[in-house]
Chain A
Amino acid sequence: MSAFEAAVGHERDLPDRRDMAEYVAGGLVSKRIIVGYGFWIFLLSDIVMFSAFFATYAVLVDATAGGPSGRDLFNLRNVAIETACLLLSSFTCGLASIGARTYRGSLFYGAMAATCILGAAFLFIEIHEFADMVAHGAGPTRSAFLSAFFTLVGCHGLHVTAGLLWLLTMMAQVFAKGYRADIRRRVLCFSLFWHTLDIIWVAIFTVVYLMGVEQ
């Protein structure tokens, strides 16, 4: 016996049970699920966009035009610190979303502040790395490889920047308006966004940095 039959089995004389299924199976779906699902679709389209940048990078990785390759440029110690920052910030972002769902201000604000500091540390190291490369004549105009590198990693960096602004906005909104249902939906979307950035970073540190140095 299916779950549906178990639920409506005692009402077998309804005109059309398929119409009832909408309600039994949660036809009045909560807005949180609709919003979360819609944002999930957006994030998947964002991942598809990143995959185009990854494909571009993979095609152009050897087109160094006599300039420096990844092996000459990348500093794996910095990348390891960046990775640790982003991974820990993903964890604290999860704690913040628990705080928002259970209305615990100390957990929410503390975890959001930690996420913000870790994300800012990540950005600081990345900007430092970019500035260093440009100063040593390895800017995005040097070769097709470097154009693809700055496009891919820079686009991720821009996403992190936007995420940090969003994070501060969410803290301010929770502070000003409290744990309203719509505010908590925004916190849900923010945490999805932040976790997705970490997934993209996993692909970046593997494909760009580790494989680039290893070659």
Chain B
Amino acid sequence: MSDSGQPRDAHYADTAPGDNPFDRHGTGEAVGSYLIGLGLATLLTVVSFFISGTTLVWGPSIPVALVVLAVAQMGVHLVFFLNITTGPDNINNVMALAFGVLIVFLLLAGSLWIMAHMNYNMMPMDQIMRMQR
């Protein structure tokens, strides 16, 4: 196989992350895919900034909406900019990503869970100070 990043046969070869499968169809299609990504990411960013300052929606729902929008935008970046897709040539990349996401989830959820419980179980600070005297 040559080193051009273009697999000899799309069915058998892997694709490096970041290599755009649209390349096989020409530069125009590759630019088009980046343009779609830019458009979607811009849309999601604008909605995020708008929703954070609005009073149109119920307050407590805003953080949830922001997280959902951020995750969606990360997905857009992964698919259109990093070209991580679900295709058969991308299985290794997706498996590595899935493992990374698992570790990130464990780290974030575990830290927040444990620290929230520690805060809850901890004696108020002024009592601790009094005991130390």
CA distance A188 to B16 in the complex (A): 9
Chain A interface residues toward B at CB < 8 A: 3, 7, 24-26, 28-33, 35-37, 39-41, 44-45, 47-48, 51-52, 54-56, 58-59, 76, 80, 83-84, 87-88, 90-91, 94-95, 97-98, 101-102, 181, 184-185, 188, 191-192, 195-196, 198-199, 202-203, 205-207, 210-211, 213-214
Chain B interface residues toward A at CB < 8 A: 1-5, 7-9, 11-20, 23, 27, 30-31, 34-35, 37-38, 41-42, 45, 48-49, 52-53, 62-63, 66-67, 69-70, 73-74, 77-78, 81-82, 92-93, 96-97, 99-100, 103-104, 107-108, 111-112, 115
Chain B nearest Cβ from A100, distance in angstroms: 10
Chain B residues with CB below 8 A from A59, complex form: 111-112, 115
Q: A51-B104, A101-B5 are in contact. Are A26 and B19 (CB under 8 A)?
A: no
Q: A76-B49, A98-B20, A101-B4 are in contact. Are A214 and B62 (CB under 8 A)?
A: yes
CA distance A48 to B100 in the complex (A): 7
Chain B nearest Cβ from A180, distance in angstroms: 10
* CB-based contact B3/A40 at 8 Å: no
CA distance A4 to B54 in the complex (A): 55
Q: Which residue on B lies nearest to A100, using beta carbons? A: B5
- Give 20 pairs: A residue, B residue, CB < 8 Å, sorted on A: A26-B8, A30-B2, A32-B4, A33-B16, A37-B92, A44-B97, A51-B103, A90-B41, A90-B81, A94-B34, A95-B31, A95-B34, A97-B18, A98-B27, A98-B30, A101-B19, A199-B74, A206-B48, A206-B70, A211-B63
* CB-based contact A210/B52 at 8 Å: yes
* CB-based contact A40/B17 at 8 Å: yes
- In the A-B complex, the 8 residue pairs with the smallest Cβ-Cβ separation, listed nearest first, are A36-B16, A44-B100, A55-B111, A206-B70, A210-B52, A94-B34, A51-B104, A181-B3
Chain B residues with CB below 8 A from A47, complex form: 100, 104
* CB-based contact A26/B66 at 8 Å: no
Extra A-B contacts (4), CB below 8 Å, given A37-B16, A52-B107:
A90-B38, A90-B41, A98-B34, A202-B45
CA distance A198 to B7 in the complex (A): 28
* CB-based contact A26/B96 at 8 Å: no
* CB-based contact B111/A198 at 8 Å: no
Chain A residues with CB below 8 A from B112, complex form: 55, 58-59
CA distance A33 to B42 in the complex (A): 30
* CB-based contact B96/A40 at 8 Å: yes
CA distance A206 to B68 in the complex (A): 10
Q: Which residue on A lies nearest to B3, using beta carbons? A: A181
Q: Which residue on A lies nearest to B11, using beta carbons? A: A3
CA distance A155 to B97 in the complex (A): 22
Q: Choose among B9, B18, B30, B31 the residue that contacts A195 (Cβ–Cβ < 8 A).
A: B18
* CB-based contact A55/B108 at 8 Å: yes
Q: Which residue on A lies nearest to B68, using beta carbons? A: A206
Q: A37-B92, A58-B112 are in contact. Are A101 and B107 (CB under 8 A)?
A: no
* CB-based contact A55/B12 at 8 Å: no
Q: A40-B96, A94-B81 are in contact. Are A26 and B1 (CB under 8 A)?
A: yes
